[in-house]
Amino acid sequence: MITQDKIKYAEELSNSISYLENLGYSNIKADLKGYETPKSYHKKGSDVDVTPDIVAEKEGRKHIFDLSLKSEKPRLLKSKWLFLKTLSQLKSYRFRLITMRGHYKFTNETVDAINLETVKLLKI
């Protein structure tokens, strides 16, 4: 999710973290009060910072999670996902999208638009 939606979807982010903890993920970092903030990446020549919603570890491998929820700025969301996908490929991380009921259609349309069919979706 993009920065403008963080306050709007804080409860969904909290639910996602609980879900990941139940799946056995550890060392969870999230852009939420009470958790360590994941590393941000700054785009040169602009004021855009990209921060993954959740970063966690499981079985010694780092996983990057981003919430896929309806957004007013889908273009910014698409560029964030493409960057995180590329970053995860370069560093041998796993990139996953977390979506929730009521947001499946938006997620599928957005993923199809940018050819990210290889990204796994976690449906909560």
Residue-range domain boundaries for the chain: 3-123
Cβ atoms within 10 Å, residue 92: 8
- Tell whether the model's pLDDT for residue 46 goes beyond 90: no
The confidence score (pLDDT) of residue 89 equals 95
- Tell whether the model's pLDDT for residue 47 goes beyond 90: no
pLDDT tens-digit readout, 62-82:
999 999 999 888 999 999 999
The domain 3-123 is placed in CATH, from the list 3.40.1350, 3.40.50, 3.50.50, 2.40.160, at: 3.40.1350
pLDDT tens-digit readout, 73-112:
899 999 999 999 999 999 999 999 999 999 999 999 999 9
* First CA to last CA distance, the chain: 16
The confidence score (pLDDT) of residue 108 equals 94
pLDDT tens-digit readout, 1-42:
888 788 889 899 999 999 999 999 999 999 888 999 999 999
Beta strands 26-30 and 54-58, pairing class: antiparallel
Which residue in 32, 113, 104, 109 sits closest to 121, CA to CA? 104
The confidence score (pLDDT) of residue 67 equals 95
